[in-house]
Structure 1
């Protein structure tokens, strides 16, 4: 069987469908994921091992056999932890076939084939019974189904199904519980990732201001969480407005409900300011007593703790629908709404609104299309006034009263800058319907729809009639293209510039005039772990597999008390 994968060609910007057969090597995809970073997470691994060992002991003390269900086993590491901790049998479920195949080899290599059965199915398809995938229900549930938002990988529906069909009532769970924490802050930097600020342009005839369309001003943005390394965020980039509070907890040893719901807490601001951002993170208790705890708390919450570097789990930035002024000592109410996979927040100030929190608020969905065209770093880039000033200085050097400009970028504000700085005529080439729509709204909001012409066409298909038979004297680009995955993919501008050569005047000015790619060799303290074989650390005797090297795969490995793992 053959499958087709759609991929954007960064050179031409075109969508290409590449044919892959059943022998497609997914190992490179896995090696480029965060599996290695996860397996390098010593704190995570040690805490899981301690929790599993404690759970097995509790079951044994009751005189029962320890039957483990490991959902999302990946390399099989957690199942092998359980087996080495004395579990009688483990069912290791992994839906991704290449990963399941790797788990089978790893389990066999480490001598646990008689105690671990790898099941290549989604957990909701697993059957229990004499002729089923599992002979009986498990009494220990082990999972690692969490992302930065905790529930984004479908942990809740998976737990819900497991409790109904795959584990015994009152089972042990590792982790035992998860707790989500929040803190209200004001941050111009983080707020600039979601809302476009007015752009100020100093022109010869006075200051001009580029404003956003009203629908973008009122747009809640996109539902996906903004996950970042808050430990890399300087303390002067945000103002704390509230103490850290617990938003909600989930007990994984009991039946879990995945249906949409909400949680509400009362906050009393410790400082007056503009509430814009909800910062959030979670921790997990591996045991019922909470003595074995793994936390994602940022540096200002746990200032005395040695922080574990993690790229597979970070912290969350949630944007409130609108910024709200809050005052020190005044009660406010923060509501977290969630569905099966995501969380979003709303702040309420007035006490009379207290009972309105139970009205379900829909997940934020972009209505203005700008959040679909621009990702959050891009919106932050457009809000960088220093960057805008550099473009203005460059344009002022080349623009003349008779300049005819063509801008080639996706959803760029350069056409507006060029018009305000005195260009005679401005065209902007947009490759997609979304960028055309967003630019059209911007031009209308700034009363420029008759001043700047939008052309929706690929560069190689541009015609003279679309340019009104004019030759381009100034070709502009930031460059920014939505098809670019890596910085050098923006060299698509060079391809586009070549494609429109016939429309350029003989003395055309091209901005940017050139590009250069710089490289340097560095030693990372932590980031190297994302794509690296594991080293050696306390309790982890790690080795890299020679057979994987011979097969020219990218190896990585992890172990607990002699358990080695690779992909």
Structure 2
């Protein structure tokens, strides 16, 4: 028995087409002709994970069988295959490049779309009888199995050799008979380099391709633009944003600027969604050029002199890339934002979620510039990333520092979490909640109270320790662990208290006993809720707080204060045409039938009854065109005063706007106190939290009673049930 164990484990939901640099949270084991694939499954309500068998079938299973629906249900393969401009540009370039039988290598082949394009363009044979060949390299076993089905469905199984290996594992004379004449590949992320483009090309040119090969794409160029944006500033500058807070807490104390922050990297974002909040401070500028047809360098630097076009403060560099697909420059694809108006970019502009623009945050408050002033941008790329450093003429004499070591940051959080912690309204809500709690405990003469922070909230831990010097605080920190403890130790003095009455659990325990609390019962159990590293989960998966409360039941006092005291699941009917089109079922893609992949890849739109697509986590405000079609309504409540239990809710809702309903946005409002005086909403108008999106199998025309047209529905019945055994939310709806 052979075991292939990846060095790195990442959630299946985040997987993109895999190249030599993509690790998967799967294990493949073979015995005879049987292939067994294991998936690392996470229980969102406990944080525990285990390897589960998701496939135990022969590689050549029947097309009608769909054995791994849960495996790829929330990947972005579907969104990419629904990207018509991308597919058309690749097909046109391949048709122009592959004009005769030859050897074509497809790295990171996915469903085999580019391989089939190349095989079709190659034709049958030339005058000498040479038939040519296409080699498709794909490291991800479930995708390899799916690719073989797609090739068979399209009559291409004999024209494409599929190899289940990383490209840097291929050897000429062993896996392939000769070096390839043409490379076709799509191993790009929003930053361009993050999927290992450079190392993949280096190995391919060294070991797998002929000298001076043809390639599709031919070239990629990265561009940037200097911008001012308060929204982008708040996503990274916690120190300055919390300076005016009234709670006395300093998450980033003076002199400890690198103790907590975001990782210095490019962040993918739909920048068109905030175009009205962006002030452009320069014209677009070219940064790096990457030629696929020759071996790339691992490291390059450049310094650009950029003239400011407006007065302002540079908070970020917005970047994108443009692909030249063919060597003549006839076919292009670009990820440029909508405000870029060149003819090249305009031809491929559309909403898609697999490629976005990128944002690089300028540290602190940014750099102040005046119109016509020159800004110096130093750009550096490594094998897998691009970074920047900006200087004006005035600051240039102070010495140039090109970025900083991310390991200087003792605690790295997501930009959205940084923005939440810097938000005065949110901090005031937490302060109000804890002041009310302290008052309640004092009325009960429990001055020396025992408080448990059940999640990864460093803010609540500091706030409790700051407000009540006599209380003992136990922070569970299920994700932060030692990082959280080290952070608290570093900032305690700056916040004016001793760390002696704060304890961080050193290891994950199944449950706490009275021995752990020194025979004391817990007076206050609190959370935001926030679980480190799980920012991309569905909203109801933060009901892990309810599960933790249940596990802790034996150490809670009879009149314990639990905050939040309940969660309210809310929903809203939405028009989401861009998102729906990106998740719709596939049929023909540039002439190739992909219909059999729909269930496997988690299609949501145009599904046959009674199939339904999965709920997906999205920032609704970044989902392209969107419109609320009715009032936000309550679906069900989760009562945290009691142990976790199944829940059910039902609501009938009238539509207040006419339009096409593509699905529903769902979120949780956290009610912090029993008086309902403090409610923290995570709805679509709150841009720092992801919502759950349930897309309809078929869009529905809706209207309002006063102007109802034939075929329009004026109301609906919405039902949902929550299963605490697996954290799943089951949704049903009926349009009236």
TM class, shorter-chain normalised?
0.7 to 0.9
- Superposition deviation, residue 174 in structure 1: 0.9
> Hey, which of these two has a bigger chunk of strand by percent?
2
Residue 226 of structure 2 is matched in structure 1 by 184
Write the mapping of 1:407-556 to structure 2, written as runs, cut at 5 A.
407-418=453-464, 424-431=470-477, 432-450=481-499, 453-456=502-505, 461-462=511-512, 464=514, 467=517, 471-482=521-532, 484=534, 485-519=537-571, 522=574, 524-528=576-580, 531-535=583-587, 539-540=590-591, 542=593, 544-545=595-596, 553=600
Work out which of the residue numbers 284, 289, 293 in structure 1 matches 2:323: 284
- Superposition deviation, residue 154 in structure 1: 0.9
Structure 1 residues 421 and 201, CA, compared in 2 at 3 Å: closer, same or farther? farther
CA contact (8 A) 2:268 2:358 kept: yes
Residue 136 of structure 1 is matched in structure 2 by 178
CA contact (8 A) 2:98 2:118 kept: yes
CA contact (8 A) 1:261 1:338 kept: yes
Residue 11 of structure 1 is matched in structure 2 by 45
Distance in 2 (CA, whole Å) between partners of 1:220 and 1:266 is 29
Residue 164 of structure 2 is matched in structure 1 by 120
1:334 aligns with 2:377: yes
1:272 aligns with 2:311: yes
1:393 aligns with 2:447: no
Describe the SS at the equivalent of 2:75: coil
Residue 664 of structure 2 is matched in structure 1 by none
CA contact (8 A) 2:318 2:358 kept: yes
Describe the SS at the equivalent of 1:11: coil
1:245 aligns with 2:285: yes
Residue 83 of structure 1 is matched in structure 2 by 119
Distance in 1 (CA, whole Å) between partners of 2:390 and 2:488 is 32
Write the mapping of 1:17-166 to structure 2, written as runs, cut at 5 A.
17-20=50-53, 23=56, 28-57=70-99, 60=100, 65-86=101-122, 88-128=132-172, 131-166=173-208
- Superposition deviation, residue 66 in structure 1: 3.7
Structure 1 residues 353 and 208, CA, compared in 2 at 3 Å: closer, same or farther? closer
CA contact (8 A) 1:460 1:500 kept: no
Structure 1 residues 96 and 553, CA, compared in 2 at 3 Å: closer, same or farther? closer
Distance in 1 (CA, whole Å) between partners of 2:428 and 2:403 is 39
Structure 1 residues 75 and 444, CA, compared in 2 at 3 Å: closer, same or farther? same
Residue 563 of structure 1 is matched in structure 2 by none
- Superposition deviation, residue 117 in structure 1: 1.9
CA contact (8 A) 1:412 1:480 kept: no
Distance in 1 (CA, whole Å) between partners of 2:260 and 2:373 is 27
CA contact (8 A) 2:229 2:279 kept: yes
Write the mapping of 1:346-357 to structure 2, written as runs, cut at 5 A.
346-350=389-393
CA deviation digits over 1:51-75, x for unaligned, max 9? 1111124xx5xxxx44322212111
- Superposition deviation, residue 316 in structure 1: 0.9
- Superposition deviation, residue 334 in structure 1: 0.7
Structure 1 residues 419 and 104, CA, compared in 2 at 3 Å: closer, same or farther? closer
CA deviation digits over 1:523-556, x for unaligned, max 9? 531223555422568x5565523xx78xx74576
Residue 231 of structure 1 is matched in structure 2 by 272
Structure 1 residues 362 and 389, CA, compared in 2 at 3 Å: closer, same or farther? closer
Distance in 1 (CA, whole Å) between partners of 2:461 and 2:426 is 15
- Superposition deviation, residue 38 in structure 1: 0.7
Distance in 1 (CA, whole Å) between partners of 2:245 and 2:335 is 45
Structure 1 residues 97 and 354, CA, compared in 2 at 3 Å: closer, same or farther? farther
> Hey, which of these two has a bigger chunk of helix by percent?
1
Residue 661 of structure 2 is matched in structure 1 by none
Describe the SS at the equivalent of 1:399: helix
CA deviation digits over 1:408-445, x for unaligned, max 9? 22133124334555675251413311222223333232
Work out which of the residue numbers 209, 216, 235 in structure 2 matches 1:193: 235
CA deviation digits over 1:193-217, x for unaligned, max 9? 23323536887xxx73535144344
1:369 aligns with 2:413: no
TM-score (norm 1): 0.83
Distance in 2 (CA, whole Å) between partners of 1:28 and 1:500 is 31
- Superposition deviation, residue 98 in structure 1: 2.5
Distance in 2 (CA, whole Å) between partners of 1:219 and 1:555 is 37
Residue 565 of structure 1 is matched in structure 2 by none
CA contact (8 A) 1:175 1:284 kept: yes
TM-score (norm 2): 0.65
Work out which of the residue numbers 383, 393, 401 in structure 1 matches 2:422: 383
Distance in 2 (CA, whole Å) between partners of 1:71 and 1:39 is 16
CA deviation digits over 1:45-104, x for unaligned, max 9? 0000011111124xx5xxxx4432221211111111122223543222222233223223
Superposition RMSD in Å = 3.4
Residue 560 of structure 1 is matched in structure 2 by none
Structure 1 residues 367 and 414, CA, compared in 2 at 3 Å: closer, same or farther? same
Structure 1 residues 390 and 459, CA, compared in 2 at 3 Å: closer, same or farther? farther
Distance in 1 (CA, whole Å) between partners of 2:245 and 2:338 is 41
Report which structure shows greater RCO (CA 8 Å, sep ≥6).
1
Bigger shift: 242-251 or 304-313?
A: 304-313
CA contact (8 A) 2:154 2:593 kept: no
Distance in 2 (CA, whole Å) between partners of 1:124 and 1:218 is 39
Residue 368 of structure 2 is matched in structure 1 by 325
